[in-house]
Amino acid sequence: MDLTDWGMKMHIFLVNCSGSPQYVSPMKVVLTPIYYKGRPAIEIRFPYNFKLKEYIKQFKGVYWAYQKRTFYFYHRDSQLRKFKKHLKAGGYKFTVEKPSKTKVVRRKKEFLLKPITPKKAATHKKFLQFLEGRRYSESTINVYGNFILDFLRHSGKKDVNKLDAKDVRLYIEWAVKQLDYSISTHRQLVGAIKLFAHFYPSCSIDMERITMPRRDRKLPVVLSKEEVVSLLQATKNLKHRTVIAMLYGCGLRVGELVNLRLKSFDFERRQVRIVNAKGRKERYVTIAENSIPLLQNYYATYRPVEYLIENPRGGKYSSNSIRAFLKKSSELAGIKKNVNPHCLRHSFATHLLENGTDLRYIQELLGHSRPETTMVYTHVTRKDLREIKSPLDSLTAPPSENLYIDNSNPSLSWDSSGISLIK
């Protein structure tokens, strides 16, 4: 008897998303209706078996949920029937569980929300179809879908036709306080609710009474050229280094990089075609000469099939994985700033502007619709402001006095840059 046969005869316990163990008979697949990324889905749970796992992956439309650590597919009645037939054809048994209606996970926190009524569930499904019909991106559909799903759950059993501005206010207050939403996420939430009120005019929500918080005027986090070099040097993995080189060298968004296909490269013209970018726009970006040997080495090593950066199991690479290794690499490089994929895009634009590139060309390379969006980098690269000397620098003191010594504490002094040093 091998280990596989021995393991299959043991009692197998399966840990679900809540962490509580559930007994599952060997080789039985459990299908549970859930909401994932704001959309109704079917979670697929089973005791680990390599053959069964590979068989499930053969079904078109099955995905791996990185956060939940489980397989799933988006719920349609026809899709569910097809998957059941797929399991039967493979000789596998299955059960369909009732959904957990109250426990939700948001921002790595568990919350108990009131159960959603069948009418609200049907309304939410139609809202997602409405977003698809207006050709919103998958990311926007997921984000808006989650907002509206939580809003409908938060209002409890109240009829969807009677939802009003007070229900909106109570939900926003709960979400901002409990989930610690930033200003930008808060604005997205309000935008989603206004769109829902437009989609479902039968409700009593007065859009004029929903206030949008003012936008933050934060300056982008930018790395120096020396920090970019340190980041590349600290990144030993060839694939990860290629990701950094493309994000910084081409000014790509992380979503554009993970969707970048091999056929989009034109090495003769030193260009990459970016398709289906933000706002469904297309553009060309230049390939850095210094990145070409890196790209050639990467391709010879990893042999990607369709996308430039691929998952080891095939298909698109995860943007979460990119954020994770960037955080580790920045720590190894000793960079104290919050380094994320968009920080490299900001650095690309800022360094171009510092090198004298015209703002109109930078706008084109970044794919911005409005020049005002690109203008933010002028606040980061104001050389004229950096050349202005502070009044403190113009102060003079008698030669016998040293302004950089703390006489009350002889062990404390200041270097020429103003950084405190302990002798």
Catalytic residues: 253, 278, 342, 345, 368, 377
Kindly report the number of other CB atoms within 10 A of residue 273's CB atom. Answer: 14
Decide: 189 and 172 in contact? Cβ < 8 Å.
yes
* Three-state secondary structure call for residue 367: coil
109-112 and 265-266 as β-strands: parallel, antiparallel, unpaired? Answer: unpaired
**Helix, strand, coil % over all residues of the chain, rounded to 5:** 45, 15, 40
Burial 397-423 (b: 16+ CB within 10 A, else e): eeeeeeeeeeeeeeeeeeeeeeeeeee
Cross-strand bridge partners of residue 412: 422
Residue written as tokens 């037939």? 85
Cα-Cα-Cα-Cα torsion 281, 286, 291, 297, nearest 10 degrees, comes to 60
93-96 and 420-422 as β-strands: parallel, antiparallel, unpaired? Answer: unpaired
Residue written as tokens 């109250």? 102
